[in-house]
Each structure stands twice: as structure tokens, then as C-alpha cells.
Amino acid sequence: MRERQVATARAGEDAVVVRERGLRDPFGYLLLVDELRRPIGWVRHDHLPASGSLDPTLATPMSPLLNRRATLKDALSLLLDADVQAGIVVDRNGAVLGIVTADTIAERMRAGDHVVQAEPFPPEESEPTVGATGSKVGAEAAT
């Protein structure tokens, strides 16, 4: 499964530019990241300042972080407890790759992507690890 892209901004960016970018994204939140693209937290569109720079104190960390080894079942379980129904998919350095929403996971599960293969083979080094449910969440997962 591919993660969905979301509007992001770095702490300290010009609020005028960021506000325009954030309001174009239908998700309703902007993800504030640090200089290494690691998530700081979410800023609701209606809380984006009209001027100045983005301060990290505007962001609220409300989503679980998911790596490419997270299963659909595990991700959905974490999202059900989150204030923002989206998990932030990160790489091995913690940098944002995108988000996975509860709706996206539910769609994939309805399509049968959570079914375990009859004879799972061990993953190759370059392949993402498949979790216990047989489904992958990260960027390398096929759509």
C-alpha cells in the first residue's frame, strides 16, 4: 500500500506561504516537521497563522509513527486511539514519507490485503518485511 502525501512545513517557515499550501490540502491538517523532515506534530488549518513564521509550539503530536514493517492490523489499532486518524509513515531515520489513514487501511482490508499467504517466503534483504498479517504499510509496498 502506498502512503498518501500530506501538506508539510518546516518549523520557522513563512506562515503566508505555508498557509496557502496547507489550505490546498483537503486533509484539514498540516504536518510540521523539523529540518531533517522528522514529524513535530499537526497544525489544524484554522490554526495556521496569517503572518510571521511557524512556531513548533503550534503543533500537537497526535499520530502514531509507522515504519515500513507495520502491518495493517497494527496500524489500524494505533489509529483508532489517535486524535488525528492518520499514521505518519517514516523512514529508518524518522523522516516523513507520507501518511496512512484509517479509511485507506479499511479499504485495503476490505480488498483482502490482510489475508496471510498460504506459504509465506522469507523477505529478501532489499524487500520490506511483511508483518504477521501479510500486509505492508510503507513506501515500498505495492498498490
Residue with the larger pLDDT of the pair 123 and 111: 111
CATH code given to domain 8-110: 3.10.580.10
Residue with the larger pLDDT of the pair 110 and 112: 110
Phi and psi, residue 60, nearest 5°? -120, 120
pLDDT score at 26: 83
pLDDT score at 133: 41
Neighbours of 101 (CB within 10 A): 19
Instruction: Select the highest-mean-pLDDT range: 6-10, 20-24, 33-37, 75-79.
Output: 33-37
Q: How far apart are the first and last CA of the chain?
A: 5
The pLDDT tens digits of the residues spanning 50-103 come to: 899 999 999 988 889 998 888 888 888 888 887 778 899 999 999 999 898 888
